[in-house]
Amino acid sequence: MSSTELIQQLLQAEKQAEEVVSAAKKSRLAKLRQAKEKAEEEIKEFRDKEEAKFQKEMGFKATTDPADALKESTKAEIAGVMKDFATHKARTIEYIVGRVMDVQVTLTSTQIQGPLDASFLRADAELRTLAEAVDRFLRDDPADKPAADAGGSQEAHGSTSAGKSTQQVQLPGLEANDFRHPLDRRQTRVLESIPAISGVVRQVVAQLEQSIYQDNISSSILVGEKQYPSVHVMLQRACDILDIPKEQRPEVYSRQNPQPNAYTLAVQGKRPFIVVHTSLLDLCCPAEVEAVIAHELGHIKCEHGTWLSAANVLLVGASALPLPARVLGPVLERLQEDLGAWQRAAELSCDRASLLVAQDPWVALSVLVKLSGGSSMNSPSSKQVLPKEQLQAFLEQAKHYDESKSQQGPLQ
């Protein structure tokens, strides 16, 4: 065989190989498109089913678009809370009154022969503590009363009574579902119903969790009995109120950052941890800092875990993910939408956890005002909850916002 014939055979073989590879690529692309279309159809089908189930549970009227019903219900709920902030206080009172009634029923419905045992003595003590807490909520706000001594300048300037050394009611036996928001439950079901998505999310998040954890412990201060001891006490007290077992209590880190914020990350296989920015510690008084910590503990109590990590990691964008995870771009973009809705719903549950620990709605509102741009207008040594007049003005501002939103068209 001549060299010319050999070269021709090689060229022909190369051409045939290219045709085979090209056909394989086309077949592969076609299968990927079919898989993608099938996955999108399944996701849409599950979302539609969950929307229909949620409408049935919540008693929604039928609409042409299930998403419109959810938007309207969420908007109505937010508007109702912001129009009358007393609703927050009423819900908290209702919960505590419910706890009191539970103990009362236990004490009155049980036939006791002989002396009371230790369990009934503890129940009686719990009843008394809870009853005192209800009295504190129903009592007129101490800020409206004259200061009892020369040290009462805080009340004289219209500040709320938050931050005073009053005994906080404990909530033994508290379960996450006792305060979990209905939208939190609904959005969690939506995420968990997407086929095989939980495993994909865990694999993607696991690639970044460890590096985030190492970054925090290498450039932050671990809160403890010797470092930020006052914050350590707040953490333990909030965990006691929310009935979080010692083995599940998170580490807390203080991180240098000019943006007032705090966040929680649950690293797989490790104890979850909370990061609090130093600017938040500088801005807020002790009662407000404890309310922020309680909000983050709400994520842990509600076992938001994997989805919370996914929201914190994936919502930064697929471009920030490791290369192997970027091929999931289209899926992640769709998942971001569901994660965003879940995260907003989860925050409502955590706000309730914050109220259960603060046990004063003015404290929680003061935190919101400060994080939105407010300030105590005082030196760091005299930080305090914002005056009630300023907080009420913020509620009026929220009412104006609701009114302006209600006047906008659907496309605005």
Q: Which residues are catalytic?
A: 296
Q: How far apart are CA 338 and CA 345, in angstroms?
A: 11
Return the half-sphere exposure (C-beta side, CA atoms, 13 A cut-off) of residue 311: 24
Query: What's the token pair of residue 42?
Result: 């399944």
Q: Which of 290, 348, 352, 300 shows the shortest CA–CA distance to 96? A: 352
Q: 3-state SS string over the chain?
A: CCHHHHHHHHHHHHHHHHHHHHHHHHHHHHHHHHHHHHHHHHHHHHHHHHHHHHHHHHCCCCCCCHHHHHHHHHHHHHHHHHHCCHHHHHHHHHHHHHHHHHHHHHHHHCCCCCCCCHHHHHHHHHHHHHHHHHHHHHCCCHHHCCCCCCCCHHHHCCECCCCCCCCCCCCCCCCHHHCCCHHHHHHHHHHHHCCCHHHHHHHHHHHHHHHHHHHHHHHCEECCCCCCHHHHHHHHHHHHHCCCCHHHCCEEEEECCCCCCEEEECCCCCCCEEEEEHHHHHHCCHHHHHHHHHHHHHHHHCCCHHHHHHHHHHCCCHHHCCHHHHCCHHHHHHHHHHHHHHHHHHHHHHHHHHHHHHCCHHHHHHHHHHHHCCCCCCCHHHCCCCEHHHHHHHHHHHHHHHHHHHCCCCCC
Burial 290-305 (b: 16+ CB within 10 A, else e): bbbbbbbbbbbbbebb
